[in-house]
């Protein structure tokens, strides 16, 4: 083919692609922003991404990378450090908020900002509990947090947590090959939260639940496509298995609640079964199961990540590690010779470690 003809054709083709992609990138902007009229002028900077997908591909790519904050960093680089950006996430027009002050305002103002979750989250964590009205949510929150407030509740678990952390560190210290530290922290956190929830530890039960939660977590971070082979489909199957497992545990606890009370072995599941509001109304089983799924997920996942980042940052800043160790050594020096193990009062004295 004549090169004089080929190059213009190639240029036209590339030009058409640029125009087509530019047009596609504007569809969401025209559809969601254009119809707001004058109100669109009050929107923060940002862009609405591709039709249907929005900016989900960029978000998923960032979360699966070694730098999940890169999604926010890209917004800051492109639009400045405004702290508020418009976007299109989870198949819906969205506002991304990323400064502490604005986040606090959004989370605390229940009048202007209602609670909302993507459909995939509702499906996986339980529509009965996630989609409650504000008043019902307050009632449920009061019912479920009262038994775990105060020093008495925390004191019950300090010794147990100390024991399993020491065991875990001893075990890791004996391994002569690299480990995935986040996975180890997840196991540790799951063992702790499992004990708090069930009152006792069954390795078989916790291993099963940890496996199901791994699949559930993958689905929460994936598009809601319920087709075999997709993470969301696997997560739905994992939720069904989790619900079945928790139903069995719930029924077992109801049958032997009197024995457990005599032994003093109570977990969250026992306290939720006993909980009553001011009108004597108890929680339904479906709410208890959804709450257990949410608490087990949130409790072990957030604790694991916090522990991992704390260790990582201390390793990167030896001067801070030294200050944290010095604080611990001073607390131990003040400890009575007859005392064995950590106490809640000692934890309260760890001011520097709390900042870490």
Percent of the chain at pLDDT above 70? 80
Question: What is the C-alpha separation between 119 and 113, in angstroms, rounded?
Answer: 18
Structure tokens at 139: 């009632």
Q: Could you give the residue ranges of the DSSP H alpha helices within 91-202?
A: 100-108, 119-125, 127-130, 134-145, 150-173, 181-198
Half-sphere exposure (Cβ direction) of 295: Cα atoms closer than 13 Å:
22
pLDDT given for residue 122 in this prediction: 79
Question: What is the C-alpha separation between 261 and 257, in angstroms, rounded?
Answer: 6
pLDDT given for residue 46 in this prediction: 87
Collect the ranges in the chain with pLDDT lower than 70. Answer: 1-11, 13-25, 115, 127-153, 199-202, 257-266, 277-278
Question: What is the C-alpha separation between 235 and 119, in angstroms, rounded?
Answer: 13
Model pTM score: 0.67
Q: What tens digit of pLDDT does each residue of 67-97 get? A: 888 999 999 999 998 889 999 888 788 889 9
Every domain of the chain and the residues it spans: 14-113, 131-316
We find that the CATH architecture of domain 131-316 is: Orthogonal Bundle (1.10)
Structure tokens at 136: 């019902």
Composition of the chain by helix, strand, coil, percent to 5? 70, 5, 25
pLDDT given for residue 150 in this prediction: 63
Q: What tens digit of pLDDT does each residue of 8-50 get? A: 666 676 666 556 666 566 777 777 877 777 777 788 898 888 8
Element (H, E) at 89: strand 84-89
Half-sphere exposure (Cβ direction) of 158: Cα atoms closer than 13 Å:
14
């Amino acid at each position: 083919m004549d090169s004089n003809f080929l190059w213009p054709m190639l240029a036209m083709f590339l030009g058409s692609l640029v125009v087509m992609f530019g047009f596609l990138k504007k569809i969401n902007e025209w559809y969601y922003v254009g119809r707001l009229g004058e109100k669109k002028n009050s929107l923060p900077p940002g862009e609405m991404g591709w039709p249907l997908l929005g900016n989900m591909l960029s978000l998923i790519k960032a979360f699966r990378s070694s730098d999940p904050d890169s999604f926010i960093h890209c917004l800051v680089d492109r639009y400045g450090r405004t702290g508020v950006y418009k976007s299109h996430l989870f198949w819906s027009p969205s506002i991304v908020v990323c400064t502490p002050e604005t986040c606090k305002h959004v989370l605390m103002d229940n009048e202007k900002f209602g609670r909302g979750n993507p459909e995939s989250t509702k499906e996986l964590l339980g529509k009965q509990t996630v989609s409650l009205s504000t008043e019902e949510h307050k009632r449920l929150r009061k019912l479920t947090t009262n038994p775990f407030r105060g020093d008495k509740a925390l004191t019950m678990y300090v010794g147990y947590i100390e024991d399993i952390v020491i065991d875990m560190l001893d075990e890791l210290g004996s391994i002569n090959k690299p480990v995935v530290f986040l996975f180890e922290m997840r196991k540790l956190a799951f063992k702790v939260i499992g004990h708090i929830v069930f009152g006792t530890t069954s390795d078989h039960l916790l291993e099963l639940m940890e496996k199901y939660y791994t699949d559930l977590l993958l689905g929460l971070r994936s598009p809601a496509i319920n087709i075999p082979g997709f993470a969301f489909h696997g997560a739905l199957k994992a939720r069904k298995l989790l619900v079945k497992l928790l139903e069995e545990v719930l029924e077992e606890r109801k049958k032997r609640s009197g024995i457990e009370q005599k032994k003093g072995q109570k977990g969250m599941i026992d306290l939720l079964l006993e909980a009553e509001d001011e009108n004597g109304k108890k929680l339904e089983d479906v709410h208890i199961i959804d709450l257990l799924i949410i608490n087990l997920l949130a409790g072990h996942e957030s604790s694991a990540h916090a522990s991992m980042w704390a260790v990582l940052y201390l390793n990167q800043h030896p001067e801070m590690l030294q200050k944290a160790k010095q604080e611990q050594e001073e607390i131990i020096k003040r400890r009575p010779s007859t005392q064995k193990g950590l106490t809640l009062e000692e934890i309260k004295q760890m001011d520097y470690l709390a900042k870490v």
